[in-house]
Amino acid sequence: MPSDDQHTSQPLFNQFASDNYAGICPEAWHAMEEANHGYVSSYGDDSWTERACESIRRLFATDCQVFFVFNGTAANSLALASLCRSYHSIVCHDMAHIETDECGAPEFFSNGTKILHTNGTNGKLDLDAVELAITRRSDIHYPKPRVLSMAQSTELGTVYTPGEIGAACDLAHSHGLRVHMDGARFANAVATLGVTPAETSWKAGVDVLCLGGAKNGMAIGEAVVFFDRLLAEEFEYRCKQAGQLASKMRFISAPWIGMLESGAWLRNAENANRQARLLADELARIPGVRLMYPCQANAVFTEMPEQATTALRAAGWHFYSFIGTGGARFMCSWLTTEQDVRNLVAAVRQACGEQ
């Protein structure tokens, strides 16, 4: 392994494209390192995995059932498939990740379950729209609504309060639906709200949570957390058949121990949120730049003149933009520093013709 490779080890300092551009945080890394000794049983039948499960149960203060899978696509899709039959439907926000960025994975894993999308401001569900989606049709020519899926934090960087989650869950349950929470950035929401993980999940009525690891600082892996253990029945078979059972499971379970027992999961989220907050505040002060949504987690969405985003990109900055609109998304992560933020702010200022 050449150590002087200039090409591949060149880090991208100027990036806010995604919170998954950051690597593995020290706590996750050390746990992997510690797990890498000698022989360990495979497929999750090992003490690392059991201890990781226990850590998650402790985190949520309940005897939930936990499964570790490779990524968020699989976590959400498998959880949804376990709640649905192919002729069911899933109600979610029309900007939900499962609708916009999974290349049809939920439909694939569930063999055709349809996603019904509803509108709502700031990426959050509007309960009237949800109820309409649930009740609009009850004939067999339309797939039967079976799950309400909500993201915490949302795809647009906003956060539900426990009360809002509770209301959504009550509505769903009153119509016989189950509630799935896409928690790819669940830690960021907890950090924002200052509540316990339990309060913003099962205590509010969530049935299944997909808890994000990668965006929180791990290399690979998400946890599917069933608060109702009955729903978890045979889920291990589903994971296996769908190519989501790691043979050397310890390397995706041990990092959870490192993150949870050390508190890094929350510290990482807090840092990402803090930098996003700073970025939002600073960008909002630049003439011509407007925040598109409240910055409540680790994402900042702005509108600025399209030539500004073009200039910014030309200067080597990485971020998602929305073609022809001047809209841009900047993500902060556990790795983002205040200096990173100040560099970006200066660059935006310059791109906008300030200074």
Residue 20 touches a second copy, criterion: CB under 8 A: yes
User: Using CA atoms, how far apart are residues 302 and 73, in angstroms rounded to an integer?
Assistant: 26
Closest to a second copy by CB, 120 or 143:
143
Binding status of residue 129 toward a second copy by CB under 8 A = no
Stretch that binds a second copy, among 28-36, 153-161, 174-182, 223-231 (CB under 8 A): 28-36
The radius of gyration of the chain's CA atoms, rounded to the nearest angstrom, is: 21
Q: Which of 58, 61, 111, 316 binds a second copy (CB under 8 A)?
A: 111
> Among 107, 199, 270, 282, which residue sits at the site for a second copy (rule: CB under 8 A)?
107
Read off φ and ψ for residue 317, nearest 5 degrees: -85, 140
Nearer to a second copy, 109 or 202 (CB): 109
Interaction residues for a second copy, span 205-224 (CB under 8 A): 214-215, 219-220
The least CB distance from residue 199 to a second copy, in Å, is 27
Please name every residue paired with 333 in a beta bridge, in sequence order, or none if there are none.
none
Identity of the residue, 66 or 352, whose beta carbon is nearer to a second copy in the bound complex? 66
Q: Does 37 bind a second copy (CB under 8 A)?
A: yes
Cβ atoms < 10 Å from Cβ of 338:
12
Q: Is 355 in the site for a second copy (CB under 8 A)?
A: no
Part in contact with a second copy (CB under 8 A); list of ranges 29-37, 147-155, 223-231, 267-275: 29-37
Pairwise CA distance, residues 111 & 236, whole Å: 18
Binding mask 227-246 for a second copy (x = CB under 8 A): -------x-xxx-xxxxxxx
Beta-strand runs (E) in 280-347 = 290-291, 299-303, 320-322, 327-331
Exposed / middle / buried, residue 139 (Cβ in 10 Å: 0-12, 13-18, 19+): exposed
Kindly state whether residue 143 participates in binding a second copy, applying the rule CB under 8 A: yes
Quick one: 198 or 232, whose CB is closer to a second copy? 232
Among 114, 173, 267, 342, binds a second copy (CB under 8 A): 114
Q: Are 149 and 92 in contact (CB under 8 A)?
A: yes
Count the helices and strands in the chain (H runs, E runs): 13, 11
256 binds a second copy (CB under 8 A): no
Cβ closest to a second copy, residue 70 vs residue 293: 70
- Strands lying side by side in the sheet with 299-303: 290-291, 299-303, 327-331, 320-322
Q: Are strands 178-183 and 144-151 parallel, antiparallel or unpaired?
A: parallel
Which 47-106 residues touch a second copy, going by CB under 8 A? Answer: 47-48, 51, 69-74, 77-78, 85-89, 100-105
DSSP, res 112: S
